[in-house]
Structure 1
């Protein structure tokens, strides 16, 4: 199950995120999302847990928990929604 975690402290790194969830079961991946230019945390991340029951327990217990002085939000990650294609701008003037 893919889990979305938000309102993370900017000091949290991938290994920290993994350790928060590891006490609930196996974590196949944990990634804090960073800005590609500054490499600074964007304050959210994703955790992948292969066991859905363990993932659901982690979500239930960690959602609303205080981590590094911040109340984190934990939920099942939803796929990025399809966005309508933007029309190409035309410089043709009639």
Structure 2
């Protein structure tokens, strides 16, 4: 299972929109959009989980593709160095 980062999403994007978009390339196992607490709108990025070969196909097919007027940034998730630690 591979986790894919999706960036530069329009604020009116829903999880259903993303699942429909990525399902062109295979089965979406999980999806999570990062939402603003106060407005309830998408903060512009999210994550999708797909099988490895499907994930690679989705990245190749969607990175740079226009979606609702914005050019998507799609790539494998890379953990931030020294990422946040929960206490």
- Which TM-score applies when normalising by structure 1? 0.81
Distance 2:24 2:79 in 1: 26
1:9–1:43 Cα contact (<8 Å) kept: yes
User: Deviation at 1:17?
Assistant: 0.5
Q: Give the number of the structure whose alpha-carbon radius of gyration is greater.
A: 1
Q: CA RMSD in A?
A: 1.7
Is residue 2:40 matched to residue 1:39?
A: yes
User: Deviation at 1:32?
Assistant: 1.3
Greater RCO (Cα-Cα under 8 Å, separation 6 or more): 2
Q: Are residues 83 and 32 of structure 1, via their aligned partners in 2, closer, same or farther at CA, if it must alter by over 3 Å?
A: closer
Is residue 2:79 matched to residue 1:74?
A: no
The count of residues paired between Structure 1 and Structure 2 equals 84
Structure 1 runs of 4+ aligned residues shifted over 4 Å read: none
Higher strand share: 2
Counterpart for residue 92 of structure 1: none
